Amino acid sequence: METPAGPELSDLEQAVAIVRGRSSSLLGDDLAAIDSNSSTVQAVARAVWVLRRHRANSEDAPTGEELLAVHDQLYESARYRNNGHLEALAAALVGHGLVPDSGAYGGEWWLWWPKKSRGPCVMCGEVRSLTRYAERFGNPYRYLCARCRKQEIADNSAWLDQVTGVVREEGESAESLRRRRFEAIIQSEIAAAESGPRKDVRPTDTEWDGYVDRLVDLLSPLGWSGWDIPDSYDSDWDAEFGPVLFADLNRTDAWFTVEYRPLDCAMTWAPYEDVCGEHPQSISVLDEAIEVAAPLHGDDAVKEIERQAGQLGLLDATRVRIAEGAAVDAVVEFRASQLRNLLVPAMAYRQMDAQALMESIAADPHLRRHFDHIVGLLGCDVFPDAIPDIAAIGIAMWCWRNGTAVEEHHLPGDVLMARVNIAVTQAILPHIDPFEGIDWKAIQHDLTGSGLQLPDGQPVLKLFGTGWTAVKSSVQEQLEEWGRVDMDILGPDTTLRLMTIAGSTSFTSSWWGQGRWRSICTRIVEDAVAGGLALPQPFNFQGAPALIEALQQPHLQSDDVLRWFIDMPDGNAGGPLGLRYHHVTQPIVHTYDPWWAESDIEE
């Protein structure tokens, strides 16, 4: 006779202890009445049992249906929701792609369903790190991977017409439309704030949770670019100012401070001060406080924050120069700590200490050469941040443009070369994820296959003619080498950081795809206008804002527009400069000044 599968004795004992513990402390039940046959103990025991099998991840792992049945049974025993098992079951269910409808469990399921988890993304179906997004504007509660959420924000214009009531006027630039919609949203937000939650009433727990969710969403462009976006914030409330949330945002050793006032639809970004001296290596990436509009609803605000952060260089890797006369010991320690920041994920991946890892790097000729070149020399001022968009530039630079046959078969004209570089960078972008790292196989497929083409449909392989065979095999070789280094030596996180540094050298300071691209375009066009230069057709009619917007997608512009943008017609005669020589392409560089360390320089 077979024993029916079910909780074992140890599971039951644990369940009895849990139920008794809660009963005696909180409920005052008669302890004697709690025995292993009570329905509550049974429900808890089943939860303990399936979670144990789920964590063991063996052949005996529970199915999604089984997890759901146990979850629902435990949910019915309402008193025992708070011991963590319901949350753990919900996280396991997300892993199976099982997420409730918004009205399920009294509409309150999101209270114990995790904000972040791992499982299949509802949009792309890939198993990835997921974040839960709130229900609004026709989208249900949903778990999305970082890349799909980024895409969703980019695709949001249809509902914006509807929500804001602002539609594009004939000949209006996207930039102008975006501005008008944004203003409409802020106006309606302010009206809503005045009639909705009042500043002089303390927010409920649910309202606080909503403000935190909104802040996390508003800061998502920074999260994509490697900033650590917390799930909980310091908060304050008073009758005059209403609710306020605060946090120090951090990426590698760079910091700044965020203050969010939801009912004012506003945020302040301010310089970070290491008040307690906890972070002697810290760099504040802001020198002064700035105000950022932050309406309670709508993805347009997320785009506006992306624009502001991009302009401040917060979406690119942090660059740091060391103050002159700094104490040598402090400088050595600072450099060592940046190397540590780069290598710590690899040490965890390889289960080895720093020295063994360095030896393993030195023993690999391909990695050693690039490590010396990229980390030691060209990128020595760049923090090892993990930024997918910048790593894509790094891969385009080091696996396509440099060290391959592409240079020998140089295409005629810088405009064509730029078009191909952009096409390559765009083909790489979808294969980098902030959590999963770089999919080298997929990049190889897309760069060396026949599918790589310019926006007009010309296949890139045709441009190279008979040179394509050499280009293809040399690019393939670079990608294979890096794929091997990623898998065998560094692991996904350190590789992503290394590629971010590789995409942050002076070779690519004028490349499309950087966080500062929009502000670079804006400055160049504004300088040209101020210098009295005519804009290229058709923007001499449409105006500078339309040109700036168009340049966000430079590959879609005509040769004349790109030529104008790269080298202004009068660029050599002391007139305004184009992309090639304009100083705005130089990255923002911060200064590290260990003033607290004793200088070695003798008086």
What does the block give as tokens for 233? 């914030």
Distance separating alpha carbons of residues 3 and 9, to the nearest angstrom: 13
Q: How far is CA 254 from CA 248, 282, 394, in A?
A: 10, 6, 21
Which residue type sits at 337? S
Among the candidate windows 115-123, 341-349, 366-374, 451-459, which touches Zn ion by CB under 5 A?
115-123
Report how far apart the first and last C-alpha atoms of the chain are (Å, whole number): 91
128 vs 419 by CB, closer to Zn ion: 128
15 vs 145 by CB, closer to Zn ion: 145
Q: Whole-number minimum distance, CB 448 to Zn ion, in Å?
A: 25
Q: Whole-number minimum distance, CB 122 to Zn ion, in Å?
A: 8
Per CB under 5 A, does 130 bind Zn ion? no
Strands 319-322 and 589-592: parallel
Q: Which of 98, 111, 124, 192 binds Zn ion (CB under 5 A)?
A: 124
Q: Whole-number minimum distance, CB 517 to Zn ion, in Å?
A: 24
208 vs 435 by CB, closer to Zn ion: 435
Per CB under 5 A, does 320 bind Zn ion? no
Q: Which of 69, 111, 123, 417 binds Zn ion (CB under 5 A)?
A: 123
124 vs 584 by CB, closer to Zn ion: 124
What does the block give as tokens for 528? 């040209």
Among the candidate windows 138-146, 293-301, 391-399, 514-522, which touches Zn ion by CB under 5 A?
138-146
Distance separating alpha carbons of residues 143 and 156, to the nearest angstrom: 17
Distance separating alpha carbons of residues 5 and 68, to the nearest angstrom: 17
- Report how many residues bind Zn ion under the rule CB under 5 A: 5
Per CB under 5 A, does 145 bind Zn ion? yes
- Kindly give the residue spans of alpha helices, DSSP state H, lying in 118-167: 146-154, 157-164
Per CB under 5 A, does 146 bind Zn ion? no
Among the candidate windows 89-97, 131-139, 146-154, 300-308, which touches Zn ion by CB under 5 A?
146-154
144 vs 249 by CB, closer to Zn ion: 144
Residues 270-299 that bind Zn ion (CB under 5 A): none
Distance separating alpha carbons of residues 111 and 208, to the nearest angstrom: 13
Q: How far is CA 358 from CA 347, 443, 503, 512, in A?
A: 10, 27, 22, 33
Per CB under 5 A, does 122 bind Zn ion? no
121 vs 501 by CB, closer to Zn ion: 121
Q: Whole-number minimum distance, CB 150 to Zn ion, in Å?
A: 10
Asked if residues 264 and 225 have their Cβ atoms less than 8 Å apart, the reply is: no
Among the candidate windows 144-152, 250-258, 357-365, 553-561, which touches Zn ion by CB under 5 A?
144-152
Among the candidate windows 140-148, 277-285, 374-382, 539-547, which touches Zn ion by CB under 5 A?
140-148
Distance separating alpha carbons of residues 291 and 191, to the nearest angstrom: 20
What does the block give as tokens for 588? 């923002």
Per CB under 5 A, does 432 bind Zn ion? no
Distance separating alpha carbons of residues 37 and 40, to the nearest angstrom: 8
Which residue type sits at 442? A
Q: List interacting residues with Zn ion (CB under 5 A).
A: 121, 123-124, 145, 148
